[in-house]
Amino acid sequence: MREPQEIPDEAHEQILERVAAVDVAKASGMVCTRVPHQDRPGKRRTRVWEVDATTNAVLELGEHLAGERIEKVTLEATSDYWRIWLYLLEAAGVEVQLVRAQDVKQAPGRPKSDKLDAVWLAKLTERGMLRPSFVPPAEIRRLRDYTRLRTDLARERTRHYSRLEKLLEDALIKVSAVASKLDTISVRDMLEALIAGERDPKVLAGLARGRMRVKHAALVEALTGRFGDHHAELARMLLDQIDALSAQISRLTARIEELIAAIPAAQGVDAGGTTGPGAGLAEGAPVLPAIDRLDEITGIGRDGAQAIIAEIGLDMSVFPTPRPPGVLGETVAPHHPVRGPQPLRAHRQGQPLPEGNARRGRRRSGQDRYLPRRALPAPGQTPRQAQGPGRHRPLHLGHRLAPAGRPRRPLPRPRRRLLRQPHRQGPQSPQPHPPTGGPRVHRHPRTGRLSACQHRPGSADAPPSATAHST
């Protein structure tokens, strides 16, 4: 008998006795507590009530939960409504964990009402079946507010530049086709001159600086248009908005650098072993500041490094694996899994198909699992269609697996069949007598075939050679 292996549980997988859960909404929250029953040993006591999402009500709830000796409180991440519950309950000294709604829905047996949702959250919490989400500390949360606002303002500034370019296109000014961007110093001088009333394209092109001077002829053609007074007024408004947003972005950047420099974990170490807000910047320093370390990575600048620190923090021990966490993956490189069979791209682009016994009917795994079963032969083996009669139905001439060298001929069309209408027996009506001297032709009531019947015996006009037929 082999020795059993002991697998330790994670911190969130411990079974707890006193738990609580809050089903978060915008104006209120449904609170549920589960504690051991006082009078019935081995039983649990569950209490559910509604609490308003206000500061005083949540603070009172935190005092009540602390008095009940609640070990952990679970919050479901619903929009931004969970923030007041998390911040105030943490301030009251209660351990709080935030979980995703998707993790709760994946557990079977979930009820569908607010009251029962809170009970279900509490049951999952006491059994350690919920994985908490990452919530950064207060200093990182403050930093995140600044970086996210800077990102929003930068996007808004980009939108104003797009409106300015559209306005210039309406004025027949094609300067954006010559200059790479509209936020360069040369383009800004040209726009200020246009707003001031200058309309000569040669004078405007002469305001170019640096490498833009070699594009003088192209600038003259691009600045020849119909820039009117109303274009100048609208351009002035857009430029003022852009300048205001740029000033706010610069102010936010300076504040972000101050907050990161004040975090001890983000500071560097000098050669003498001292640390502080300005440590690690001298030559020969063993440890650079966190911003400079991230800035050395290709493709990440100082703004990107500041955003990364604001999103995931500086303590990597909170993540169970070294893989990129969900926040970083969704921010930098989102992953969209594709389900279902993949198209045969390699075969369509003329590349060789992956090797493997693809004609077998068993289930395949790996890169060739998308190949059709019984479609391709094994390496070095002739196709099944060429091994002789009776092995497989022969392929038509236009099939992609048919032997090459034969001319492509149109396939023969199937012959059209004559549809036989079913017999519908109508109402009985008296039939006229057939002419004398010949057999009477009628339709059989069952098969619908025509039959020849002799005249009644005794008729004077009936021919002697007529006989009766029946089907």
Residue 402 has pLDDT above 80, yes or no: no
Residue 145 has pLDDT above 80, yes or no: yes
Question: Is 165:176 a contact under the CB 8 Å cutoff?
Answer: yes
Q: What pLDDT is stored for residue 465 in this prediction? A: 46
Q: What DSSP line would sit under 18-77, residue for residue?
A: SEEEEEE-SSEEEEEEEEE-SSSTT-EEEEEEEEESSHHHHHHHHHHHHHTT--EEEEE-
Give percent of the chain with pLDDT exceeding 90.
16
| Local confidence band at 298 (pLDDT 50, 70, 90 cut-offs) | confident
Contacts of residue 403, Cβ cutoff 8 Å, sequence gap at least 6: 386
Question: Is 270:282 a contact under the CB 8 Å cutoff?
Answer: yes
Please name which of 117, 81, 121 lies closest in space to residue 99, comparing C-alpha atoms: 121
Q: What pLDDT is stored for residue 442 in this prediction? A: 56
What mean pLDDT is predicted for residues 355-374?
49
With tokens 């027949």, the residue in question is: 172
| DSSP state, residue 178 | T
Buried (b) or exposed (e) across 255-286, using 16+ Cβ within 10 A?
ebeebbeebeebbbbbeeeeeebebbeeeebe
| DSSP state, residue 385 | G
Question: Is 38:18 a contact under the CB 8 Å cutoff?
Answer: no
Q: Residue 186: what residue type?
A: S
Q: What pLDDT is stored for residue 9 in this prediction? A: 66
CA distance 208 to 186: 5
CA distance 325 to 393: 54
CA distance 306 to 260: 8
> What are the tens digits of pLDDT across the range 91-118?
888 888 888 777 666 555 555 667 777 7
Give percent of the chain with pLDDT exceeding 70.
62
> What are the tens digits of pLDDT across the range 326-347?
544 444 444 455 555 555 444 4
Q: What pLDDT is stored for residue 191 in this prediction? A: 93
Q: What pLDDT is stored for residue 162 in this prediction? A: 92
What mean pLDDT is predicted for residues 201-209?
91
Higher pLDDT, 152 or 272: 152
Residue 216 has pLDDT above 70, yes or no: yes
Among the listed ranges 127-141, 148-162, 310-324, 335-349, which one has the minimum average pLDDT value? 335-349
Please name which of 72, 74, 70 lies closest in space to residue 85, comparing C-alpha atoms: 74
| Local confidence band at 254 (pLDDT 50, 70, 90 cut-offs) | very high
| Local confidence band at 41 (pLDDT 50, 70, 90 cut-offs) | confident
Higher pLDDT, 307 or 340: 307
What mean pLDDT is predicted for residues 212-217?
90
Q: Are strands 96-99 and 28-36 parallel, antiparallel or unpaired?
A: unpaired
Q: What DSSP line would sit under 257-292, residue for residue?
A: HHHHHTSGGG--B-TTS-BSTTTT-STT-SB--HHH
Alpha helix positions (H), 314-464: 326-331, 345-348
Please name which of 189, 268, 273, 261 lies closest in space to residue 223, comparing C-alpha atoms: 189
Alpha carbon of 153 to those of 117, 149, 248, 291: distances in Å? 38, 6, 8, 22
What mean pLDDT is predicted for residues 455-467?
47
Contacts of residue 453, Cβ cutoff 8 Å, sequence gap at least 6: 439, 440, 441, 442, 468, 469
CA distance 84 to 86: 6
Question: Is 61:31 a contact under the CB 8 Å cutoff?
Answer: yes
Higher pLDDT, 432 or 412: 412
Residue 401 has pLDDT above 70, yes or no: no
Residue 246 has pLDDT above 90, yes or no: yes
| Local confidence band at 357 (pLDDT 50, 70, 90 cut-offs) | very low
Calculate the average pLDDT of the chain: 75
Indicate the helix (H) or strand (E) that contains 293: helix 290-295
Q: Are strands 72-76 and 19-24 parallel, antiparallel or unpaired?
A: parallel
CB atoms within 10 A of CB 52: 13
Q: What pLDDT is stored for residue 450 in this prediction? A: 53
Residue 99: beta bridge partners? 76
Question: Is 188:283 a contact under the CB 8 Å cutoff?
Answer: no
Among the listed ranges 89-93, 132-136, 180-184, which one has the minimum average pLDDT value? 132-136
